[in-house]
């Protein structure tokens, strides 16, 4: 009997998390002798949450793991690629395609979409937060807001989307990182004295962990910030404001007040971090108020999904698709200079329509007859890839 309501790796690989109609479809096709019909299926989308004009695509490596061993070829963009929802000519964006017999693949459409949709939603949200808070510390505090079984996925998507670290022990271990965080209110409440709690933290926690004091447990944030600075002096790296909603008022003004009080008393080295209720749409005023870092939970882990679709576009070598979708095998190109994206039906049509330069092909074969043929990058390498693209689109003035 399972302890938690989760699908095991084996169950996902066997296609047991699929929708029942795919099971029935597979059965019918086998009875009719049509399960080996050769098809190409697009994996595509045409919009981001909040009408954002770009996003970060992730979940691809897990998609490869899902499809490994099946008798098919799979083509995908690189994990962490930033794309607009439509190309320069208005075509729906294609991130990859499946080529092979439909029957063996049919039951995997549901889990394949699930792996891509949620992860891309979180990595996209994380990247937009990173742009808003470009030089600030960003930590994923989303573990407590979602089912613990998907904590590593949430933190991975946040990290490659541009966050600096994660608080979950397992997530950090799986990515080869050191978990990052401060202290809970419980530590201060159990000890019963803020100063004693901060001093105890400094005494017993490893020396390479930044001394960041939680400063809103019993008194005003300004008072506790000064108490922490007096207690730890130069050892104090920062203070964290996790002000509850019932006491918050204008958090940006509270930050300004704390900053001024610290600076006037010689503690300008102390950084200010905020957490609790931090979302994409309230980042900017806090950055302007002087916040140095953010711990983001619910807004990040509850990010809306990117709604991908999988559609047959070629059957037995001929263009063939349902209404509303464009038939035919497609190729995706990007201009490295002006970042124009173009979808074409000709793999040699690689001239940029804007500047005339040669464009780069973004979709490459990742699985050949069931075997993964690419070497996955590390989370840190993917994160660097994302940050490099973010720098480029900021330089070009891409908006939200």
Flag whether pLDDT at 302 surpasses 90.
yes
Query: What residues does CATH 3.20.140.10 cover in the chain?
Result: 9-120+305-395
Flag whether pLDDT at 88 surpasses 80.
yes
Query: CA quadruple 126, 127, 133, 135: dihedral positive or negative?
Result: positive
**Token pair for residue 80?**
């962490």
User: Is CATH 3.20.140.10 correct for 9-120+305-395?
Assistant: yes
Distances (CA, A) of 242 to 178, 332, 373, 379: 23, 45, 46, 29
Give the model's pLDDT for residue 248.
80
Segment (H or E) for 270: none
Helices of type H across the chain: 9-13, 20-32, 60-67, 102-106, 109-132, 151-160, 169-175, 185-191, 194-204, 221-232, 245-248, 251-264, 283-289, 298-301, 379-395
C-alpha torsion 233→236→238→244, nearest 10: -80
Whether the Cβ atoms of residue 333 and residue 350 lie closer than 8 Å to each other: yes
User: Mean per-residue pLDDT for 100-106?
Assistant: 97
> pLDDT tens digits for 240-270?
999 888 788 899 999 999 999 999 999 999 9
Whole-angstrom distance, CA of residue 167 vs CA of residue 144: 10
User: Is CATH 3.20.20.70 correct for 125-301?
Assistant: yes
Give the model's pLDDT for residue 249.
83
Q: What pLDDT band is residue 3 in, cutting at 50, 70 and 90?
A: confident
Q: What pLDDT band is residue 377 in, cutting at 50, 70 and 90?
A: very high
Flag whether pLDDT at 399 surpasses 90.
no
Whether the Cβ atoms of residue 154 and residue 141 lie closer than 8 Å to each other: no
Query: What residues does CATH 3.20.20.70 cover in the chain?
Result: 125-301
């Amino acid at each position: 009997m399972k302890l938690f309501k989760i699908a095991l790796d084996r169950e996902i690989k066997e296609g047991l998390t699929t929708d029942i109609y795919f099971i029935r479809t597979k059965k019918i096709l086998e009875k009719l002798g049509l399960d080996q019909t050769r098809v190409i299926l697009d994996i595509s989308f045409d919009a981001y949450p909040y009408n954002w004009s770009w996003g970060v695509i992730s979940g691809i490596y897990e998609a490869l793991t899902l499809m490994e061993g099946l008798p098919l070829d799979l083509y995908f963009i690189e994990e962490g690629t930033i794309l607009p929802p439509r190309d320069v000519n208005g075509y729906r964006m294609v991130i990859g395609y499946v080529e092979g017999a439909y029957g063996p693949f049919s039951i995997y459409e549901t889990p394949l979409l699930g792996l891509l949709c949620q992860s891309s939603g979180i990595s996209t949200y994380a990247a937009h937060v990173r742009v808003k808070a470009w030089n600030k510390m960003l930590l994923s505090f989303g573990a407590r807001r979602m089912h613990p079984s998907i904590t590593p996925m949430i933190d991975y998507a946040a990290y490659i989307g541009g966050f600096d670290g994660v608080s979950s022990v397992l997530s950090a271990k799986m990515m080869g990182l050191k978990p990052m965080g401060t202290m809970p209110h419980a530590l201060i409440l159990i000890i019963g004295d803020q100063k004693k709690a901060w001093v105890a933290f400094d005494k017993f926690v490893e020396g390479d962990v930044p001394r960041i004091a939680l400063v809103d447990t019993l008194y005003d944030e300004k008072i506790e910030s000064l108490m922490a600075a007096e207690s730890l002096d130069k050892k104090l790296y920062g203070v964290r404001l996790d002000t509850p909603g019932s006491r918050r008022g204008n958090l940006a003004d509270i930050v300004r007040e704390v900053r001024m009080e610290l600076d006037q008393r010689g503690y300008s080295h102390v950084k200010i971090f905020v957490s609790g209720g931090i979302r994409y749409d309230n980042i900017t005023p806090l950055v302007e108020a002087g916040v140095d870092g953010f711990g983001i939970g619910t807004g990040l882990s509850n990010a809306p999904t990117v709604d991908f679709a999988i559609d047959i576009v070629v059957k037995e070598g001929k263009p063939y698709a349902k209404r509303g979708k464009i038939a035919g095998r497609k190729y995706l190109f990007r201009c490295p200079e002006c970042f124009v994206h173009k979808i074409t039906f000709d793999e040699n049509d690689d001239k940029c329509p804007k500047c005339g330069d040669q464009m780069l092909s973004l979709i490459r074969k990742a699985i050949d007859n069931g075997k993964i043929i690419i070497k996955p990058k590390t989370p840190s390498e993917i994160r660097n890839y994302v940050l490099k693209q973010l720098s480029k689109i900021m330089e070009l003035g891409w908006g939200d």
